[in-house]
Structure 1
């Protein structure tokens, strides 16, 4: 393949975005960075990164992957950040890491879809189809820009956002200490399979978290019984995953 898109996705929005871009570009390999692991080598001519924003910045796994991996310095680099609103330092951080490797981020864009941060928002099911349709329209413009090898300067981010992200992301791994599993759990194993950090096991018939959480919330959103919850904040809230994506695509 002469084009590669690396993606990180929990509820499927970023995966579907990566697939849509790859289909439009043609001859493109779509790679889960959580499965690729660290110290990856990529010599493609076009390289993309598609992922969601977490706490005004990059998911930890995305940061670690790009930081540790090697890429063709002469490639055309692009990044698309799926989000419910602001994307904070995401594009700046990708650009800075690529500059450390002798290249730079040629094109970056946010793609507003919806916020699935169930800790703080209620997802309105009656609005999902409309929001996804708007996202498709926005993505069509982004895809055309990528096809045209558009370049634009990546703007710097406010220092306060970086400090906020660094503080928040430092506590991601221990987020699962506040997860609970209700009696409705059938131990189906979906949470184990869908977790990109391999942070969940079923031990002695009990769902067990290993305190290496990515805070992606995949386990909460994909549990068919809504058995996994965070403190007292999610019990009565609607779960979400992209309707075009099956959980097996994320395992």
Structure 2
């Protein structure tokens, strides 16, 4: 996926973090980007900052927790895009049994339902056109349980969903990728009420580096993208450990006691 004049990418979660980093990276590759998120002012600032060689970007305010928000995004995707990046995500703090039921349902609506519905909406036009790509942002915690029950489960769903679709699309010209970053310096943890100030700096990555690695791996046709050498080594080691030890290591790194 090299420079792509006149192609369109839609990025959810484009207000900040990994989503905003994808907006900048894709704009530099010549994409016109549709920025989707809940905060119009921040979306517009990111769209203005990403303008490159006269390319204008489209801002779409939508809350993926709501049926109306998901329907609006799906309707835009059904018009056709060349690349979909599902970067929206929601984390929660607190023990599972103390978190309000509506919050847990909202988390699944963003992390699972929205990803499923937007992927389906984008795939039809892509398959008809014989080209396209979808990047679903998961997490390293989706590869082994241990850092939050519902969050990890939703991210594991993203991995299985994407890797299950990829072989079904062989020969169509459409690529699937699941992106599994570790800890990224964004607003995500603060918004979720998760304190990770004790986390060693060696585990942290910058959002721009995560987006860059994902796009490079997409160019190479890789379905699974794990940014950061340390995380790739960890992923390689975990299957070789007894399952309970892998889970313990994951919980230790991720301080799982503070989040759902």
TM more than 0.5 = no
Normalized per residue, the structure richer in strand is: 1
TM-score class, shorter-chain normalisation, is 0.3 to 0.5
Q: TM-score, normalised by structure 2?
A: 0.43
Normalized per residue, the structure richer in helix is: 2
